Amino acid sequence: MDIATVLIGLALAVIVVAYVAQPLMTKSRVALAPAQESPRTKLLAERDAVYATIRELDFDFQTGKLSEADYRSMRETHVARGVEILKQLDVMGAGRGRKPKVEEQSDEIEVAIRAHRRQASSQVCPACGRPIDPVDRFCAKCGAPLSAEAKR
């Protein structure tokens, strides 16, 4: 074995060790300090964690990994914590004083749907009496043609 082969092997070993050790030597790109979160965000995250834990407990009990006594006590503890979190979230929600925009838009959409259904239900097919949609040209049940006068 000549010296060139030993040097190449040694260089390869140094490169491999440096590559493997790099994650240990460099600082993490993710900030280690927790980001500033609002209390509501923290409660929502904790609520989701409690839900996940309860689902896992249910699964473990169904698969026979937990005895019934352990399951009941652990589930009771987590459900009680979940109730506390939901109460705190309700208090925070009540303090805001107004509904979020999504709920307001949802209410407007529901009102429009109810109005459309009332209008549509007042129009019936003259042949069979089935409610028809204002844009229908034929009855979906009996196939009778719907004229403009028949829709009223």
pLDDT in tens, 11-56: 999 999 999 988 888 766 555 555 567 888 899 999 999 999 999 9
- Identify any residues that bridge with 124 across adjacent strands, giving them in sequence order: 131
Type of residue numbered 109? I
Furthest-apart CA atoms within the chain: distance in Å? 104
Distance CA 151, CA 134 (A): 7
Could you count the other beta carbons within 10 Å of the beta carbon of residue 50? 20
Residue 51 tokens, joined: 């839900």
Percent of the chain whose pLDDT exceeds 70? 80
What is the pTM (predicted TM-score) of this model? 0.42
Distance CA 56, CA 50 (A): 10
What are the tens digits of pLDDT across the range 71-109? 999 999 999 999 999 999 888 876 554 555 566 667 788
Q: In angstroms, what CA-CA distances link 78 with 26, 47, 81, 142? A: 39, 10, 5, 57
Q: In angstroms, what CA-CA distances link 69 with 53, 65, 76, 140? A: 17, 12, 11, 58
Indicate the range of 17-21, 111-115, 116-120, 123-127 predicted with least confidence: 116-120
What are the tens digits of pLDDT across the range 52-81? 999 999 999 999 999 999 999 999 999 999
Question: How high is the mean pLDDT of the chain?
Answer: 82
Helix (H) or strand (E) holding 13: helix 3-25
Distance CA 14, CA 122 (A): 84
